[in-house]
Chains A and B, each alone.
Chain A
Amino acid sequence: MAGLMERPSGNLAPSESAVTSEGLATQQAAESQALEQLLSTRSPQRPQRTPTFYVEIDGKQLEAFEGQTILEVCRANGIEVPTLCYDPKLPGFGACRMCVVDVEGCDAPLISCSAKAEPATVIATQTDRLREIRRTNLELIFSDHNAYCLPPCQNKCPSHIDIPGFLKANAESQFRESARIFKRTIPFPSILGRVCPAPCEDHCRRDEVDEAIAIRDSHRYAGDQVLKSMWDENIDPPLPFELQPKTGKRVAVIGSGPAGASAAFYLLVAGHDVTIFEKDPEPGGMLRYGIPQYRLPKIEVLDGEYQSITRLGGRFECGKMLGRDFTTADLKAQGYDAVIVAIGCYDTNDLGIPGEEAEGVIDGLDYLHTAALGLEYPNHEGSRVVVVGGGYTSMDCARTSIRLGAKEVTLVYRRDMKDMPAADEVHEMIEEGARAIFQAGPTRVIVDEKNRVTGLEFIRMQLGAPDASGRRRPEPAPGTEFIIECDRILKAIGQGPDMTWATIGADGVSATKNGRLKADAVTFQTGRDGVFGCGDVRNGATTVVASIADGRRCAYAADAYLQGLDLGEIRNRQTLAEPQPEFLSIVPFTGETKEPRLRLKALHADERKHDYIQYEIPYSKAEVMAESTRCLQCTCEAIGFCDLRRLGIEYGTTLKTLEKDHQNGAGFRSITENRWTGANHDYVRDDSHAFILREPSRCIDCGRCANVCAEVVGAACYDFMRTGFDTLVTTPLDMSLNESPCVSCGRCAETCPTGALMPKPRLLTKYEVDESRCILCGICVDACPYDALRSGFDFELAHTDRSEPMIDLIALAKIERTSEATFIRGESNWENTVAGRRHDPARALPVLPSNLRGK
């Protein structure tokens, strides 16, 4: 032992004279000689350098090594060649046929993952023909891809909230986490929980089982919990992302409505200094002055939600109006690095009829604004009011009039009730005592000799051909005029932005021909550098949720501008970051238990119609959890990581999912519909394994899992099974992974290009190792796909060489496991084996194609 511990007496031993410079030189020479010897003896047969040569790819001369495949040369030089079955750890497999390239002199395209690069070849990776072949391949995959990407609710939300995500958190009573998920795309869960028209609920797939989920009411509860803890215990609301360090950049946001506040919030999170200018005495814009108190309580909810801005350091400067008190140029002069214009739409459209200027014809927004300020229109009590319009503003006008004591309130809308934007609220208005008349349009205002309103003449409308919005166009029916006597007329037929400020010191900023602010749809830039526009001023009057979505995207664009990034590139990134609505299909839900939706209770109309109190009674904790549990979680776990989806978007293989008149008006188009639509497979999900979730319907049979499992891990759990169209990469006999030699390493899920194999979400967060029983076999170190476990210093004491496999994983796996033979003989009841718990046999049974299952 002592001999082993001594230094060898050769050249490397330090001599006594090592301190002298001469000795040092001798020693260095000896060392380099020893190093040379070591290098040359280790690999005498291997040439020091692999021969290189040049190939021409897409017009560029690129260096390639002998033995490299064309794909490897492309990857090494940053040329994108699409692949689905290629795994860098393995030799080219050639199953997906996506990596086809043209090589000059070859008749048919070559498969670049297998074809070796040869000197002086000329290669093209992106010809029209190649793109066509790849597109056909992708379409063929999609034609048998009985799966979906995003749930329809998330698609239809203008801001694309992760709805299954927050509902899941709700169901686990993690309301703070739920609100945090919500805040990733919309900062104000409580506000939206009250005022959102909830386009998501119209497309909820729970509707196929029983009724749509109350998505809006569910996030309302989560948001209210956060507000409650903020008011009661002064706990800051959760932040959606990590707060970025201060950048020192200053941003001015003009307008504190939904768009402006949303932009300000995300800019604050990004670390910028934000000041918000507001023309009214209090921040909130339409949220405060357009939406009445009974729908959105101003102090508890609106002020509370806006605290998430002030708590991040955002400042409101109220009473300052763009164009009156300052211009965009002034702001730039004051040192603001970017300006966001989000002033909304405040100019009510005119009726365009004679007598409109008469006394008593009131702008609906002005009316709401006055009411919100607590002022009253003189002589309103006991008056007869006619509201013209069918949007949410007209509802607010009518219901506020009732609350202000009007004797008679009539709402007139020119189209049918079902075409009304606020169709979901009209019954509440009628309950409170208003009258609604449909299919009538105003023709002239009747006035007395003092030019005061005494009535309004209408003409009946008949419904013509559908217009661009899909609704039938109203056309006047001659000779059907009638008059409604009234004292007040409230105009609520839509709004446009006030763009008069654009000419005052705002060079470059211009308006579109519709009178809106001209700003790019992705980068939000106006004509003037550093000035952005978002929200209603850009889009015309829309919903709160659409404005907030616009504000968020605008904040990202402004942040990129402040970081000095290329906004042209941001355009691509933004387009990719936003979910594309083209991807979804309808997978039937057959086995779900029916549980009807829990509806919000409300105060009786007689109790609520004289009062501004919030009349809806929110959920209890048990109710919100029960309602959230109804969510089918119909989202693909691989979204964002899926190569198939990425390539599908890139190659334009998908069709619009919602098309009018498609399939006799059903409208939905599934992911499997394209040129090659035909028979397809519907396999059963296998969640019997503790770590790996298998969803064979999403499998594209690329074989990566089979190759990685066999070649890298050595377990060989998967292979291609069956033949022809029914081929599927799966376990033998479609058995559970628990029955296979699986070592739970997760490499199959790691390599899967789609969501067919996924790491299973687990509640377990920490493992304990019983060191008294560990035999230091190192299998955990080998198997860990994320290098979370490593060999430490103590392993160095081992005398065996780890490069030689000590343990045959397959042999190990066979021990105490069911073999194929015992499995067939039924010696193991494999339905029961997972952690001793009884499994749903329908789920644990082998996955069979639907066409075989019935037989």
Chain B
Amino acid sequence: MKQIAAPKGWAQLLLTPPATPWAALRSVLAAGPAATMQTLIDAGLRGRGGGGFLTGEKWRITATSDAEVKYAVANGYESDPAVFTNRLLLEKNAQAVVEGLAAAALAVGAREAFIAVRAEYTEAIRALEAIVHNAERDGVLGANVLGSGRELYMSVRPLQGSSMIGEETVLLKALAGKRGQPEQTPPYPSTVGYLGKPTVVNNVATLAAVTWIISNGAAAFKQIGDPAEPGTALVQISGSLTNAGVMEVPTGTPLAEIAAAAGGPAKGATIKALLIGGPSGGFVPANLLASTPYSGGGLATVGAHIGSGALLAIDQSVAIPELAAMLTRWCADEACGKTIPCRIGTRRLAEIGQRFVDGLAGPQDVQKLHALAADVADSALCAHERLTPSPLLTGMRYFEREFVPAGVAAEKSGAVVGRSE
């Protein structure tokens, strides 16, 4: 687990603890909720969990909800087992996350806040618990937050189980001690969340950015990265690149530049594609890397998404159908089993994909895969099933030659058909 040093000139704001602890919280208390939320809206901060909703607006919905009890939750449950951006963030900069969550709770009027963390992240949990404990001891949190008369109790909640817990409605159910299954949205958790009360749920990276914005100002933040979705993102780099690890990347950086910053292709490898977004991410072929920016909007145009923040470089030895089928099967196995298109449909997608790997695909299978993917996505309950078809769909879009039905002679073009040897 290591951090890759970013090239000079790339803004780095998430992994460095704030210079003066609790300075941001003091500013929030001084400025009041409305001004804090306006600052975030001015900064253009958007959720990092994939939703892309303006964080300030999200808080405002919870803040204006008519309920006596509200909650604030930090989502540090990293679903993708091959990604540790949240872990690195929590271990290196738990202070900013706790401060951001406190700011969120105070802004929306919550008296209780939770930090949900994977139970395996023991070091992160220890760091968070130390900060929360000390803050309560010092009167920063607790019955009288920094002498303001406001109440805020915070607790660290280690969770474990399925990867679905990363989804926010699932996370809230897991916190309430129920089986992790998503709920239909709307209503969003902003109005009906933990125990049915309005709940603001933010990713830990978003909360760390909140702390930075309050300390450094909205204007400074707006300067960084893609103007439509400013800020930085923690990217988990792996695969056939020279360096592997977490890199903090300003949004909007072209994928080719990220790959170059990670040291370029590993020795002897030629990059064929990048898989962006984790197990339910999309393949971006080599020829689109220079023109595709690392941003929600930019990735959506090529069929990928920021997702878990994973960036996997794939070289020529990998067969796209094999990888795509394996990823789809992983997603199908991780499904919570609530809805039929997800429980059976994603499994059937994986089975059809596997037929391409085994050379058993029928002539109808390409069309079947598209039809099923569309039907699953259109009747989806949560992002998991909506995005699960992505590897197969993007694989077929960009590497059509590798998806060959049985009996059709593979073109001698060097493409790895079906299964890699």
Contacts and interface: CB of A to CB of B under 8 A. Distances in A.
A137 B344 CA distance: 9
Interface string A705-728: 000000000000001101111111
A94 B183 CA distance: 8
Given A94-B339, A97-B340, A725-B343, A140 B348 contact: yes
A132 B375 contact: yes
A137 to B, nearest CB: 5
27 contacts: A96-B339, A97-B339, A97-B381, A100-B379, A108-B377, A109-B379, A111-B381, A132-B375, A133-B375, A133-B378, A136-B341, A137-B341, A137-B379, A140-B341, A679-B347, A700-B340, A701-B338, A703-B338, A720-B338, A723-B162, A723-B335, A723-B337, A724-B343, A725-B332, A725-B333, A725-B343, A725-B344
Contact of A725 (B184, B186, B335, B371): B335
A482 interface: no
Interface string A99-118: 01000000011010011000
Contacts of B351: 678-679
A140 B372 CA distance: 10
A140 B344 contact: yes
Given A723-B336, A724-B334, A141 B379 contact: no
Interface string B187-205: 0000000000000000000
B225 interface: no
A115 B351 CA distance: 33
B335 A141 contact: no
A724 B344 contact: no
The bracket for how many chain A residues form the interface is: 35 or more
A719 B381 CA distance: 19
Interface of A: 92, 94-97, 100, 108-109, 111, 114-115, 129, 132-133, 136-137, 140-141, 143-144, 675-676, 678-679, 700-701, 703, 719-720, 722-728
B116 to A, nearest CB: 19
Nearest to B336: A723
A111 B372 CA distance: 18
Contacts of B347: 678-679, 724-725
Contacts of B179: 719-720
Interface residues of B, number: 32
Interface of A is mostly: loop
Given A94-B339, A720-B336, A725-B335, 13 more contacts: A96-B340, A97-B339, A100-B378, A133-B378, A136-B345, A137-B341, A675-B372, A676-B345, A678-B351, A679-B347, A701-B337, A720-B337, A724-B347
B412 to A, nearest CB: 32
B371 A136 contact: yes
A444 B345 CA distance: 66
B2 interface: no
A96 B379 CA distance: 9
Interface string B152-181: 000000000010000000000000000101
Contacts of B336: 720, 723, 727
Given A140-B345, A140-B348, A144-B344, A727 B337 contact: yes
Contact of A722 (B337, B340, B375, B378): B337
A111 B341 CA distance: 13
Interface in B372-386: 372, 375-381
Contacts of A129: 378
Given A94-B381, A100-B379, A133-B375, A141 B338 contact: no
Contact of B340 (A114, A141, A719, A723): A141
A115 B333 CA distance: 28
B369 to A, nearest CB: 11
> Which of B338, B341, B379 is packed against the most chain A CB atoms within 10 Å?
B379
Given A114-B184, A676-B372, A724 B337 contact: yes
Contacts of A141: 340, 344
A719 to B, nearest CB: 6
B334 A94 contact: no
B184 A111 contact: yes
A111 B335 CA distance: 19
A313 to B, nearest CB: 54
A460 B113 CA distance: 94
B341 to A, nearest CB: 6
Interface string B341-379: 101110110010000000000000000100110011111
A137 B347 CA distance: 13
A724 B333 contact: yes
Contacts of A132: 375
A338 B298 CA distance: 75
A724 B335 CA distance: 4
A134 to B, nearest CB: 8
A679 B183 CA distance: 27
A136 B375 CA distance: 7
A25 to B, nearest CB: 47
B363 to A, nearest CB: 14
Given A92-B184, A676-B372, A725-B347, A140 B340 contact: yes
A95 B338 contact: yes
A132 B379 CA distance: 11
Contacts of B376: 136
Nearest to B355: A678
Contacts of B372: 136, 675-676
Nearest to A136: B375
Nearest to A94: B184
Interface in B290-342: 332-341
A92 B344 CA distance: 21
A652 to B, nearest CB: 16
A727 B343 contact: yes
B317 to A, nearest CB: 29
B355 to A, nearest CB: 10
A140 B339 CA distance: 11
A701 B343 contact: yes
Contacts of B338: 94-95, 701, 703, 720, 727
B348 A676 contact: yes
Nearest to B338: A95
B371 A676 contact: no
Contacts of B380: 108
A818 B95 CA distance: 47
> Which of A111, A115, A129, A725 is packed against the most chain B CB atoms within 10 Å?
A725
Closest 6 CB pairs of A and B: A727-B337, A114-B184, A724-B333, A136-B375, A97-B379, A725-B347
Contacts of B344: 140-141, 143-144, 676, 725
Nearest to A706: B179
Contacts of B183: 94
A676 B346 CA distance: 11
Contacts of A114: 184
Nearest to A97: B379
A852 B79 CA distance: 26
Nearest to A144: B344
Contact of A109 (B339, B343, B378): B378
B192 to A, nearest CB: 11
A45 to B, nearest CB: 14
B375 A724 contact: no
Contacts of A676: 344-345, 348, 368, 372
A143 B337 contact: no
A86 to B, nearest CB: 12
A724 to B, nearest CB: 4
Nearest to A729: B337
A726 B333 CA distance: 8
A723 B164 CA distance: 10
B341 A97 contact: yes
A95 B340 contact: yes
Nearest to B343: A727
> Which of B340, B345, B368, B372 is packed against the most chain A CB atoms within 10 Å?
B340
Contacts of B368: 675-676
A92 B339 CA distance: 13
Contacts of A111: 184, 381
Contacts of B345: 136, 140, 676
Contacts of A719: 179
